[in-house]
Amino acid sequence: MKDVQKLLNDIHPLKEDYLKQAKQRLDSLTKPPGSLGKLEEIAQRYAAIREDLNPSIDKKVIFTFAGDHGVVEEGVSAYPGEVTIQMVLNMLSGGAAINVLAGHVGAEVVVVDIGVAHDFEPAEGLVINKIGYGTKNFFKGPAMTYDEALQSIKVGIALADEYAGKGADIVGTGEMGIGNTTPSSAILSVFTGLPALEVTGRGTGIDNGALRKKAEVIESGIKLNRPDPEDPVDVLAKVGGFEIGGIAGLIIGCAFHRIPVVVDGFISTAGALIAVALNPAINEYLFCSHLSSEAGHRQMLERLGQKPILDLDMRLGEGTGAAIAISIIEAATKIMTKMATFESAGVDKALK
């Protein structure tokens, strides 16, 4: 944990000076102050994260972390684990929703095999950093060891390091893993103390009976493994997933490099909960893309104190919500950098 902790210690809250200067810039534009609402808030925070009052978003990257889950054995998903493999192959061939939406906003998609129960052939757009062939069934014991949890975080940090060197201006998180709403609900339940049934949703579309069983599996797994809410890595190890740890690490690494992170939906926000629990300042580097229709996501956002940019009743994952929100964030930064000021346009400041 030493090297991860050192990185965490070097992540600090945004500088008030940049926030103030960004607001001054926005208030100087040819519009009533604050009249563009959340777009102005987004632009202000983006500029402060980048420490750049003339920011641009040129290189956009969405990371889709893929992993399998042993808890699928308990019938918590409408689909078998093999679908994870099939969907990763679909992404690599360009046929998934994330490919379409990322292409629409001009973002690169990087699929990360961090724990799929399959050996993929090397392919363009695929990073293989496998920690294991799926987590273990946390209904019967810990999902992974503490070292494996740390390793999953380090995979995400290493990717942030690599893409910071490649000039990434903004990063989106995404995931693919049959059964991964179950560990995400478990993580939320541990951190908040809320009953599993209150924060557990239908995931891939399970019926009422399966939903009750899913909540019971989560409650039993938490009771058996006793994850420590004061130790986020222990929570990840006991009831989490490799892809959730990877997302947490990516967020940590991006915050260190002052790269804004656009968090997708329910599973990605579980990763954000882990990262922010390790260092609350990280929260300032996050943009939460949308409110998922998956049960529990609202409570996650409330815990972070974040307001979603969009509410489109989405619950697919993959990074799809992040892709759409990136376009909104880019629009916000263009307001800041391309709009005329009162002075440059010769407009009477009395109109402000």
User: pLDDT, tens digit, for every residue of 153-206?
Assistant: 999 999 999 999 999 999 999 999 999 999 999 999 999 999 999 999 988 888
Cα–Cα distance measured from residue 103 to residue 88, given in angstroms and rounded to the nearest whole number: 17
Helix axes 266-278, 297-304, angle to 10 degrees: 30
Q: What angle do CA 312, 290, 184 make, to 5 degrees?
A: 115
Mean pLDDT lowest for which of 77-86, 180-189, 205-214, 225-234?
205-214
Q: What is the DSSP letter of 315?
A: -
Same domain, yes or no: 286 and 309: yes
State in Å, rounded, how far the first CA of the chain is from the last one: 52
Same domain, yes or no: 106 and 46: no
What local confidence, expressed as pLDDT, does residue 142 receive? 98
Same domain, yes or no: 244 and 286: yes
What local confidence, expressed as pLDDT, does residue 350 receive? 58
What local confidence, expressed as pLDDT, does residue 343 receive? 86
Same domain, yes or no: 18 and 139: no
Token output for 268: 């990605």
Same domain, yes or no: 23 and 152: no
Cα–Cα distance measured from residue 259 to residue 275, given in angstroms and rounded to the nearest whole number: 15
Same domain, yes or no: 213 and 293: yes
Residue 34 has a CB neighbour count (10 Å cut-off) of: 11
Cα–Cα distance measured from residue 141 to residue 89, given in angstroms and rounded to the nearest whole number: 30
Which amino acid is located at 46 in the chain? Y
Percent with pLDDT over 90 in the chain: 93
Same domain, yes or no: 83 and 43: no
SS3 at position 86: helix
What local confidence, expressed as pLDDT, does residue 24 receive? 97
Same domain, yes or no: 32 and 94: no
Cα–Cα distance measured from residue 182 to residue 68, given in angstroms and rounded to the nearest whole number: 12
Phi, psi of 200 (to 5 degrees): -110, 130
Cβ–Cβ under 8 Å, residues 305 and 163: no
Domain that holds residue 340: 2-55+336-351
Count Cα atoms within 13 angstroms, Cβ side, for 352.
Answer: 15
Same domain, yes or no: 91 and 129: yes
Q: Where are the alpha helices (DSSP H) in the chain?
A: 2-9, 16-27, 38-50, 82-92, 97-105, 146-165, 181-192, 196-199, 208-225, 232-239, 242-256, 266-278, 297-304, 320-338, 342-345
Same domain, yes or no: 19 and 164: no
Q: Tens digit of pLDDT for each residue in 337-349?
A: 999 999 888 887 6
Residues with a known catalytic role: 318
Token output for 236: 């990840």
Cα–Cα distance measured from residue 1 to residue 147, given in angstroms and rounded to the nearest whole number: 9
Confidence of residue 147 (pLDDT cuts 50, 70, 90): very high
Cα–Cα distance measured from residue 176 to residue 254, given in angstroms and rounded to the nearest whole number: 21
CATH of the domain at 215: 3.40.50.10210
Does this model's pTM top 0.85? My answer is yes
Nearest Cα to Cα of residue 332 among 109, 63, 99, 29: 29
Same domain, yes or no: 302 and 279: yes
| Interval 47-69 mean pLDDT | 97
Same domain, yes or no: 253 and 324: yes
- What order of strands is seen across the sheet that includes strand 286-288? 126-128, 107-115, 60-67, 170-176, 261-263, 286-288
CATH of the domain at 347: 1.10.1610.10
Q: Is the pLDDT of residue 222 over 60?
A: yes
How many domains does the chain contain in total?
2
What local confidence, expressed as pLDDT, does residue 349 receive? 65
Task: Kindly report the average pLDDT of the chain as a whole number.
Answer: 96
